[in-house]
Amino acid sequence: MNLFELTCNQFTERFRKQYGKGACHAESLYRSFYADVGFDPASLPCFAASPQSRQAVVTQFSHRVPEVIDRQSRDGVTKLALALSDGRVVETVVIPMANHATVCVSSQVGCRMGCRFCETGGMGLIRNLTAAEIVAQVFMVKVVLGIVARNVVFMGMGEPLDNFDAVVQAIRVLEDQRGLNIAKRRITLSTAGLVEGIRSLAALDWPHLKLAVSLNAADDVVRRSLMPVAGRHTMAALKQELQTFPMARGNVLLMEYVLIKGVNDDPAHAARLALFLKELPPVRLNLIPCNPRSSASYAPPSATDMDRFHQRLINDGIFVRMRKSKGADIQGACGQLGGRQAKGVGKR
């Protein structure tokens, strides 16, 4: 049984059933597991009197961590390539802030959404990650790199709503105060706009969770040309779903818009985008200059065109900012995950 897939309460429950031991033992075990990679359960004083249960715990509960097979840093951004137990590789990006870090986690190996501008999309879906494999990415950053992970964004490889159950369970584990303690308001789930997935998420009624939607276009025609998934999920359906999405006071929907030269960057697009956004609950729009893919002709617009687009949205009263993508030179920026390493099976 992998500790990374359980909340403390779930662990306590199993522990009680399996060993007849109480919450106290379980909780101190759980806390210790999440605090230190080299933690030895035998060292816990509560097991001093019961070597049998100590042995059982050591053999039955694992918190095996993925192996770091590559680590690159540039501009302070670190990209980790992590080999999973089957040798598949996922990428996790650590973006430093003033005195903490944002961890960008992957939810799948590859992605089946096939967005044309995205490196991961070119891989297709290889497999879903388990909740434990998602949580382990954050654990690695905290414990192995020693960096305080304060925010988690599901903006690495994969479409989180295409791996719904594992992602939901991972969020439950991440927010456990006896473990990694990352509250929902510091977790952002970014989706290409899967309407049923957003509806299922809404049904959980987690109003503090931050939802980001990768819009990337102001109308269905352009959107479909960039994101095949837009053929099944129109912007009207998306709008309707977002209008009823539960949100705590002060929470905003994030809209992501990758700016691509000659595709979605002219003033008419900006005007249409503003109209769309105005019909939504409070939104914040992030404009992201398209990062080049290894094999596609999409490019970012000129600085002048990006400024014009940005300014047009400001004039229309939209809360918008231009996001500088860090880590582009280590292929660690948005949409660049899934290069050589992720596709292959890890070197062991």
**Other CB atoms within 10 Å distance of the CB of residue 163:** 23
Contact between 89 and ligand SF4 per CB under 6 A: no
334 binds, among ligand SAH, ligand SF4, none (CB under 5 to 8 A by kind): ligand SAH
Consecutive H or E run containing 73? strand 67-74
Strand duo 187-191 + 149-154: pairing: parallel
Residue with tokens 């990650």: 129
Catalytic (active site) residue 24: no
Least distance from ligand SAH to the Cβ atom of residue 325, Å: 6
**Other CB atoms within 10 Å distance of the CB of residue 262:** 11
247: left (phi over 0), alpha (psi -120 to 50) or beta: beta
Query: Residue 248 has which token pair?
Result: 């705590």
Least distance from ligand SF4 to the Cβ atom of residue 326, Å: 18
Least distance from ligand SAH to the Cβ atom of residue 108, Å: 9
- What string marks each residue from 151 to 170 as x (binds ligand SF4 by CB under 6 A) or -? -------xx-----------
- Which residues, at least 6 apart from 103, have a Cβ–Cβ distance to it below 8 Å? 92, 93, 94, 95, 137, 138, 141, 149, 151, 152, 153
Least distance from ligand SAH to the Cβ atom of residue 155, Å: 4
Q: Which of 141, 334 has the CB closer to ligand SAH?
A: 334
Q: Which of 57, 337 has the CB closer to ligand SAH?
A: 337
Contact between 256 and ligand SF4 per CB under 6 A: no
Least distance from ligand SF4 to the Cβ atom of residue 335, Å: 6
Residue 17's identity, in one-letter code, is K
Residue 32's identity, in one-letter code, is S
Q: Which stretch binds ligand SF4 (CB under 6 A): 6-14, 60-68, 115-123, 301-309?
A: 115-123
Contact between 237 and 195 under an 8 Å Cβ cutoff? The reply is yes
**Burial class (CB within 10 angstroms; exposed 0-12, middle 13-18, buried 19+) of 50:** middle
Contact between 111 and ligand SF4 per CB under 6 A: yes
Q: How is residue 16 annotated by DSSP? A: H
Contact between 69 and 315 under an 8 Å Cβ cutoff? The reply is no
Instruction: Report the residue from 29, 83, 113, 277 that binds ligand SF4 according to the rule CB under 6 A.
Output: 113
| Residues at the site binding ligand SAH, with contacts judged by CB under 6 A | 111, 117-118, 155, 159, 190-192, 214, 216, 256, 258, 288, 290-291, 293, 334-335
Instruction: Report the interface residues with ligand SF4, using CB under 6 A.
Output: 111, 113-115, 118, 120-121, 158-159, 192, 214, 335
Active site positions, annotated? 334
